Amino acid sequence: MDDTPWLDDDELAAWVRLAALLELLPGALDSQLRRDAGLTHFEYYALAMLSETPERTLRMTALAAQTNATLPRLSHVVRRLEERGLVERVPCPDDARATNVRLSEAGWAKVRQAAPGHVVNVRQHVLDALSPEQVGQLAAIGDAVLHRLDPDARLAPLYERYDRPREA
């Protein structure tokens, strides 16, 4: 007997659209950043995470957590960014076993140069296609799925930091 909870027509229609979005959006984000800033989307994301921290510095492990990257992947990306003068690795003053990564002045300039085009691209491909009500629905849908994918809320500080304070 088949106990598979097959998707009904509405669920299947929603799923294939989400799957198509997951396939197409990364390429659209990556293409624009490569063309305009010479960065992959992940490189930009790592630089942006550093740009939002005090002293533009994080432990490698913290940056890996914020970008949901493995340490080997992040180390490879940081090495490439370091070779381009966009970041530098420095010893962690609190733990001699740890390494910090710091956004350089050139890296800060690169983030500021890349951000406007990235925002335009995000608007063009996602946000401008939605009504204000749909933007709220997208956030709510994201929360519902994230609670399943991230039940321990490991990445919650990353995606909740931009939430508006809830009114009492």
Q: Domain of 33: which CATH number?
A: 1.10.10.10
- Give a yes or no: residue 95 inside a domain: yes
Region class of 81: left (phi > 0), else alpha (psi between -120 and 50), else beta: alpha
- Give a yes or no: residue 152 inside a domain: no
- Site of tokens 């630089």: 47
- Give a yes or no: residue 150 inside a domain: no
- Give a yes or no: residue 138 inside a domain: no
- Give a yes or no: residue 161 inside a domain: no
Residues 130-154 pLDDT 10s: 999 999 999 999 999 999 999 998 8
CA 132-21-141 angle, to 5 degrees, is 45
- pLDDT of 156 reads 85
- Give a yes or no: residue 143 inside a domain: no
Contacts of 34 (CB under 8 A, 6+ apart): 40
- Give a yes or no: residue 146 inside a domain: no
Residues 100-116 pLDDT 10s: 999 999 999 999 999 99
In angstroms, the Cα distances linking 102 to 57, 58, 68 are 4, 7, 18
In angstroms, the Cα distances linking 66 to 48, 69, 77, 103, 124 are 11, 8, 14, 15, 26
Most confident of 16-25, 93-102, 154-163: 16-25
- DSSP collapsed to 3 states, 134-161: HHHHHHHHHHHHHHHHCCCCCCHHHHHC
Domain span at residue 70?
A: 23-129
Residues 10-33 pLDDT 10s: 999 999 999 999 999 999 999 999
pLDDT at 164 over 80: no
What domain count does the chain have? Answer: 1
- Give a yes or no: residue 4 inside a domain: no
User: Over the chain, what is the mean pLDDT?
Assistant: 94
